[in-house]
């Protein structure tokens, strides 16, 4: 609750400092999610004698929704960091480089922190009263917040439209193309396919045994456990990146699809092509986030956890 209040206060101060004329992207979302999150957490944390379990569950869902909103509103901080690195790299010799906004950066950073704290509070509150491990204090699998088992496979499917269509173009296909000379004339069109396919493999690693234990045929490390950070690190970063890029790109695609088209708007593609790409990115983010959470849930454990209680006890497959 304090984190949500701090985020709301920082957003208000940053807006006043900037003159209050122009809203920065995600400002309304951050402010609204901060209010909803604080109210929902207050309702969810009320002791059982006062609030029924049904109402507490509704409040927990509201708090989780607020956490998602805070994460979405704060996710541009990734681009703020990249922009700062870019400005430092090019030096003062490039006056056209956009400047940073410390207040906006602080708001987004606080929003991400509040989202993590809100989700953690809801998870701990939901696990209150369930059996926990005496060694690590984590609840048993039945007491933890769970994601759908198919989320990882959904993430894989949603990651494929872009690389599949791009590879088809590289092979000479005119699928969705209105100006073949323009699209086929682009050099290195296959390059963006590489990170997309890496994301597909990462999504699959979250739900397959080889994402937890190296296959036997891998030299030196075959049969040993995969360090969680090797999977969770890129998965968390990719989820945050998709959370920022996906919705914004999808709304841009919708406007392009339904808006009045001009001759200068013809990029050589039928409108459904970018709309399909952007819709898949927007849905890929939540699916990847759910699979990442389930991977974390099933692989977090300690030596005191008995076999079968978590990913460390032998639940290698999803």
* CB within 8 Å of 26: residues ≥ 6 apart: 72, 73, 74, 75, 76, 108
* The model's pTM: 0.64
37-41, 249-253, 279-283: which has the minimum mean pLDDT? 249-253
pLDDT at 222: 83
Q: If you search the block for the tokens 């699959």, which residue do you land on?
A: 204
**91-139 confidence digits (pLDDT tens):** 554 444 444 567 777 888 788 888 888 877 877 766 555 555 655 555 5
pLDDT at 280: 92
pLDDT mean over 71-86: 68
pLDDT band at 287 (very low <50, low <70, confident <90, very high): very high
pLDDT mean over 206-211: 90
Query: Regarding predicted confidence, which is higher, 64 or 134?
Result: 64
**289-302 confidence digits (pLDDT tens):** 889 988 888 887 65
CA–CA separation, 163 and 169 (whole Å)? 10
Residue 73 token pair: 């509103």
Residue 4 token pair: 């949500």
**Residue 163: CB atoms within 10 Å:** 19
């Amino acid at each position: 609750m304090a984190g949500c209040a701090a985020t709301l206060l920082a957003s208000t101060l940053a807006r006043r400092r900037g003159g209050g004329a122009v809203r920065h992207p995600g400002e309304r979302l951050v402010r609204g999610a901060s209010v909803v999150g604080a109210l929902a957490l207050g309702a969810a944390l009320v002791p059982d004698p006062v609030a029924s379990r049904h109402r507490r569950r509704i409040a927990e869902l509201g708090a989780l929704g607020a956490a998602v909103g805070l994460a979405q509103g704060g996710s541009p901080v990734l681009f703020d960091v990249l922009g700062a690195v870019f400005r430092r790299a090019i030096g003062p010799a490039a006056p056209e480089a956009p400047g940073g906004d410390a207040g906006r950066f602080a708001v987004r950073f606080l929003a991400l922190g509040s989202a993590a704290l809100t989700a953690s509070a809801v998870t701990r509150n939901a696990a209150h009263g369930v059996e926990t491990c005496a060694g690590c204090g984590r609840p048993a699998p039945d007491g933890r917040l769970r994601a759908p088992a198919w989320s990882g496979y959904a993430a894989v499917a949603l990651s494929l439209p872009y690389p599949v269509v791009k590879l088809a173009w590289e092979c000479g296909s005119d699928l969705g193309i209105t100006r073949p000379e323009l699209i086929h004339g682009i050099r290195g069109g296959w390059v963006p396919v590489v990170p997309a396919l890496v994301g597909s493999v990462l999504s699959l690693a979250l739900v397959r045994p080889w994402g937890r234990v190296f296959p036997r045929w891998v030299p030196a490390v075959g049969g040993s456990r995969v360090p969680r950070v090797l999977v969770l690190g890129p998965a968390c970063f990719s989820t945050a990146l998709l959370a920022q890029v996906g919705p914004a790109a999808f709304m841009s695609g919708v406007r392009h699809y339904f808006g009045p088209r001009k001759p200068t708007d013809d990029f050589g593609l039928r409108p459904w092509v970018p709309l399909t790409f952007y819709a898949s990115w927007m849905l890929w983010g939540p699916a990847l986030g759910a699979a990442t959470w389930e991977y974390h849930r099933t692989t977090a454990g300690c030596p005191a956890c008995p076999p079968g209680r978590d990913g460390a006890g032998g639940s290698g497959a999803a």
